[in-house]
Structure 1
Amino acid sequence: MKHTRWLIALLMAALAAAGVLAAAYFITPGVRRPSLAEGDILVCMEADGSLAIAWPDAGAGSVYLVELHAEGQNLRQHTEKPSLAVTGVSAPFQVRVQAAAFGKNLLGMDRELTSLTSLKAEVASAVLETPVLTAEPEEGAVTFSWEGGKSPVYAVCALRDGVYLPVASSSGTGTHLRFDGKEGPAMPEHGQPLELTLRAGVPGAGYVLYGPPSAPVTVERGELLGDELSLSVQEAEPRVYDLEWTEARGVAYELREWRDGAWVTLEQPEPAESFRCDLGRLASGSYHRYQVLTRDRAGERQVEEEVSFYASVSPLYCTVWPIIDLDFCESAEESQSLGRIPAGTTLCVLEEDGQWFRVRYKDRYVYVDSRYCMVNLSEYTGDYCAYDITNSYESLFKVHNSPMATITAQVIPGFEHMLTEEEGFLVPYLYPCAQKLLTAAQAALEDGYRLKIYEAFRPNEATRYLYDTAAAKLTDPALVLDEEENAVDPVTGWRVDLASGFLVDPETEELIDPASLLQPEEEPPEAGTEGEPPEDESGLQEEGEDTPAEAGEPPETPETGELPAEAGEEPEEIPDYPTYGAIMTDNGRFRLGSFLAAVTSAHNRGIALDLTLETADFQAELEMQSAIHDLSWYSAVYLNNDNAELLAEYMTGAGMAGLSSEWWHFQDNETREAIGLTSYLYKGVDAGGWTRDDRGWRYRDPDGRYYRNTTVTVDGKRYTLDRDGYTSQAPAE
């Protein structure tokens, strides 16, 4: 009995030990038995006779055990991918897939844990077609179509782990695949096009057998995008702009700018989800037009968007000239004068602080009162206005249609430097007036028009020249224009050289002084003798004064004022050559001073403008009742047409006053009175001096040419300028 109990105890101990050993063998710490997702095994035949076997993915880190049994061949292989390429095997065959996990048991032995479930299939042989696939990409999806329809099922396949595996299936002749990353694949990345093929298939118990893939079609990300670029412009800081846009349909992008009537390519950025282009600091008031377009693989345009805008207006880096000898101070808060800057000195604005400009003068950075500075409108108001300072190259002054020698088509004294070689016209205008002008210009643009400025500041030198020269011609016969627009002297019929005022000999083309052709005057008759009454000093009859008839002289006919012809005689034709004075003044109703100031004018103080209106697209000027700078009564405002009235509305609405004899002239009397401006400039201004931009300082000559690749001496100091005209020797700011 006692022996039996020992045997039972020993057996129990052995069983316990065996249980412990078994537990130690089967327990794999830290390793769970894997699970396998349900689904069909996919068997894909390749064109080279190999097979690709795929099954549902069990997740990251999974390992799979694949067992394949075919006639004369058995395969047992592990793989970390949910697919396996097999060569030398053809249907029929049996295949089984399990999920597997590996670890060490409590005995330190390697253990493999397989899923309790498995995917099994007995794959039968079949003959399957190789279809032809076409694809039509659209926003977020692709529509696929194919010919045939003989097979029970078709699958659109994407390349995964080197194998074209199904991503969508259909039993018909087409399908629609969305790229949403959920039910369908995710959008392909830029530069990583997605290749898609089509396989014909036949389903079986637990599997689908697919035939060889069709020729692939390529789908790029850009072909799946929408038609909106959302192009916008952002002002990062004053006059510093960025262009931003998002991706859209297309595989290539192009950024273009409108310049001189045509699109110019600026950049062809690589495809991305979003884009940003730094435009830098733009010129004050400058107009800009940009376009972004996309193209497909064939280079055809897909999406286009355009944005246009005017840069904000500020005097930063604008050229200015003091209209008076102007005090300068150390700071905007310190009003004590450190000296004076001579009137007409060319300066560059570095900062605006209240009513003060910070400028550089003789290597010092100082502050001046902006109210007494003329600003260059072409740099300040920019494209809000158009500019054509004809006095700087070919003056338009005429008396109605009659050109005036040494004035018309000439450079007017004082304007010699107003047309620069590199940056166009200088258009000096008093800064407070320029701010008002901007208001008028913006109002005009809102209505589809642009202010076009022909003259702003006029040096007093030009004022006196124009008046004195015109006054000397008032009694002269007015020149006329022939069919070729040549100026012609009506007396001789010869052409006139407008630059010199000389006649052009029609035979020799030599210039001839008209004075040399004058006949010597006859001696006037003595007092009491018969003859015509003497003329007054001007040779003109005063308005309203009658010339007394001589005793015994026949009466004039009331219709013509001519003497009647003797019986049987043809009356002698007396040529009528209208003078400049008669055309200009309407025989005395106006005077020369109505159009040209004799001594000083508002132009000399930088507060007056001569301007007109044009269409906002720069295509054409609006027709007025006369040409601009027509020095005649035809220009009087009582004759204003609707266009002239519209111009006046814009200008007076901004606080400007007109002139009764000139529809084009407006001046800012309010500003003149507010700042007590009484001085004016005699000489013209120029561009000569230092100018700055975000890159640095450059130096210009009076004609606006930048010195490059040279050394210049300015105010006793030598500066070296690089090939772009910049110097590194400017005083620290």
Structure 2
Amino acid sequence: MTRLLRRKNAILFPLLLALISLVTACSNSTNVEDMEDSKSVSESPEDKIPTTVQIPPPTPEHYVGDLELPVIGATGFTSVQLELKEAASLESETVQLLDAGTAFEILQEDGDWWFIQNEKSTGWVLHKYCFINLPDVIPSIIYDNTNTYSAKYVSSGKSIPNITGEQLYQGKTFNKRLGKEEFIVPVLYSMSKKIHFAQQYALADGNSLLIYEGYRPFSAQQAIVNELTKLAAADFEVAAGISSSPWSIDWFIATNVSNHQVGYAIDVSLAKVHSKEVIVIGNYAVNEITDYTEYTMPTPIHELSLASATFEKPVTAVSATAWRGNQLADNMNEAAINLQTYNTKAGLTPLASEWWHFNDLDALNEVKDNSSDGGYVLTKVYSVVPPSKNN
């Protein structure tokens, strides 16, 4: 009997061990699978990505300053040869000399200085001797520099040979800041601020400035003088229109370097705004005129004759106050008077012989010691979208 039990145990014991091993293996397999499943769930790609909060872009706001947009990112130009400085100081080391008419991007403003760059240079320049591209900083103005594609110059209603309808110089290119083709319209930096105020006065009345020209190359002006002089010599009516006492040809087109070459003059008309919309440039909201009509003015723009006179008689062009109280010419209409009001309220001075011409004599006085001769054509811009105010 004892022997029989031993034999049974000898058979059952290995079977029991095998059963225990099988159960243990199944249990381990299940645990591994559970661990793999747990690992798969806990380490899914979605769980590895950190949770981020989406910050909405800032709401565009109108720029608060002396212009409609900051000067940062705008195109500037040297009006004369200038020293490029290592720092914003006259005592700083001169990095190089920049030729008159050098274009650049404005990176920073510090007092009287701009920090600027182009593909060749980086450094500081005194901005009182620099032009700024008006469309970059006052985009709400309507720009139409006809001299860059089809000059409107006539005299006593008669075409000027080789001038009327001709391109006198290049001056339009793609502007990355504005995202479109636009005219290049340079003026001295300090003058741009007065033009800005004039535009705000006009906009408040449902109107807009319509600028035909700022800086004009001397070569273009000389071409006009030469052709007008020849026409006057052959046509008595034209001669009478530009030289009848007390007027002379210099009142209508300067025979020497003029205020347009120095950069303190604009030729401007007035337009009635029919529609406008707010557009975004960078993080700034600005007005864009989408439909307008130019008012009927005393004469068409650039009619070089006494028909375009602002006053009955000449008034010195170098006094900011001499024009006040002078008798307006008979053909000065309401639109021309409104145009004069907007510009003079902003600190500009009218020219006695041209209803469309306004000077900034303060800007002239700032550069009298070193002013432009207009010996260059400005065809390139470096304009980029201005940074946000938080940058």
Does TM, normalized by the shorter one, top 0.5? yes
Q: 361, 371, 375: which is aligned to 2:128?
A: 371
Against the structure 1 CA distance between its residues 653 and 400, is the aligned structure 2 distance closer, same or farther, given a 3 Å change threshold? same
**Cross-structure match for 1:605:** 262
Alpha-carbon separation, structure 2, partners of 1:582 and 1:442? 39
User: Are residues 1:645 and 2:318 paired?
Assistant: no
Residues 327 and 337, structure 1, Cα contact 8 Å, conserved in 2:
no
- Report the AA paired with residue 371 of structure 1: K
Q: Secondary structure at the match of 2:72?
A: coil
Deviates further, 605-614 or 459-468: 459-468
Equivalent residues in 2 for 1:237-248, closer than 5 Å: none
Against the structure 1 CA distance between its residues 472 and 357, is the aligned structure 2 distance closer, same or farther, given a 3 Å change threshold? same
**Cross-structure match for 1:353:** 110
User: Are residues 1:399 and 2:139 paired?
Assistant: no
**Cross-structure match for 1:445:** 203
- Report the AA paired with residue 440 of structure 1: A
- Report the AA paired with residue 428 of structure 1: P
Alpha-carbon separation, structure 2, partners of 1:693 and 1:661? 39
Alpha-carbon separation, structure 1, partners of 2:78 and 2:206? 34
**Cross-structure match for 1:474:** 232
- Report the AA paired with residue 680 of structure 1: D
User: Are residues 1:390 and 2:47 paired?
Assistant: no
Equivalent residues in 2 for 1:625-640, closer than 5 Å: 625-638=298-311, 639=329, 640=332
Q: Secondary structure at the match of 2:92?
A: coil
Equivalent residues, number: 290
Q: 345, 363, 372: which is aligned to 1:671?
A: 363
TM-aligned CA deviation for residue 589 of structure 1 = 4.7
Against the structure 1 CA distance between its residues 592 and 374, is the aligned structure 2 distance closer, same or farther, given a 3 Å change threshold? same
- Report the AA paired with residue 248 of structure 2: R
Equivalent residues in 2 for 1:565-714, closer than 5 Å: 579-585=237-243, 587-617=244-274, 618-638=291-311, 639=329, 640-676=332-368, 677-687=370-380, 690=382, 692-693=384-385
Residues 298 and 333, structure 2, Cα contact 8 Å, conserved in 1:
yes
Alpha-carbon separation, structure 2, partners of 1:312 and 1:679? 26
Q: Secondary structure at the match of 1:441?
A: helix
Residues 323 and 605, structure 1, Cα contact 8 Å, conserved in 2:
yes
For residues 321-364 of structure 1, give each alpha carbon's deviation from its aligned partner in whole angstroms, at most 9, with x where no partner exists. 11011112122256424132111011011112222111114554
Q: Secondary structure at the match of 1:438?
A: helix
Q: Secondary structure at the match of 2:100?
A: coil
Residues 475 and 579, structure 1, Cα contact 8 Å, conserved in 2:
no
Residues 68 and 139, structure 2, Cα contact 8 Å, conserved in 1:
no
Alpha-carbon separation, structure 1, partners of 2:110 and 2:365? 23
Higher RCO (CA-CA < 8 Å; seq separation 6+): 2
**Cross-structure match for 1:731:** none
The alignment's TM-score, normalised by the length of structure 2, stands at: 0.68
For residues 554-598 of structure 1, give each alpha carbon's deviation from its aligned partner in whole angstroms, at most 9, with x where no partner exists. xxxxxxxxxxxxxxxxxxxxxxxx54213444x555322220000
Structure 1 residue ranges, 4+ long, deviating more than 3 angstroms after superposition: 275-282, 361-364, 690-695
TM-aligned CA deviation for residue 423 of structure 1 = 2.5
Bigger radius of gyration: 1
Please list every run of 5 or more consecutive structure 1 residues that lacks an aligned counterpart in the other structure. 1-274, 286-310, 478-577, 696-733
Equivalent residues in 2 for 1:212-611, closer than 5 Å: 278=58, 312-333=68-89, 335-338=91-94, 339-361=96-118, 363-383=120-140, 385-412=141-168, 415-416=169-170, 418-421=171-174, 423-477=181-235, 579-585=237-243, 587-611=244-268
Residues 160 and 227, structure 2, Cα contact 8 Å, conserved in 1:
no
TM-aligned CA deviation for residue 616 of structure 1 = 2.8
For residues 56-109 of structure 1, give each alpha carbon's deviation from its aligned partner in whole angstroms, at most 9, with x where no partner exists. xxxxxxxxxxxxxxxxxxxxxxxxxxxxxxxxxxxxxxxxxxxxxxxxxxxxxx
Residues 161 and 227, structure 2, Cα contact 8 Å, conserved in 1:
no
Residues 381 and 438, structure 1, Cα contact 8 Å, conserved in 2:
yes
RMSD of aligned residue pairs (Cα, Å): 2.6
Alpha-carbon separation, structure 2, partners of 1:447 and 1:345? 38
Equivalent residues in 2 for 1:98-109, closer than 5 Å: none
Q: Secondary structure at the match of 1:666?
A: strand
Residues 603 and 609, structure 1, Cα contact 8 Å, conserved in 2:
yes
Against the structure 1 CA distance between its residues 583 and 679, is the aligned structure 2 distance closer, same or farther, given a 3 Å change threshold? closer
Alpha-carbon separation, structure 2, partners of 1:363 and 1:280? 34
TM-aligned CA deviation for residue 476 of structure 1 = 2.6
TM-aligned CA deviation for residue 692 of structure 1 = 4.3
Alpha-carbon separation, structure 1, partners of 2:367 and 2:352? 25
Alpha-carbon separation, structure 2, partners of 1:403 and 1:675? 35
Specify which structure has the higher proportion of helix.
2
Please list every run of 5 or more consecutive structure 2 residues that lacks an aligned counterpart in the other structure. 1-54, 175-179, 275-290, 312-328
Identity of aligned residues (%): 27
Alpha-carbon separation, structure 1, partners of 2:342 and 2:61? 30
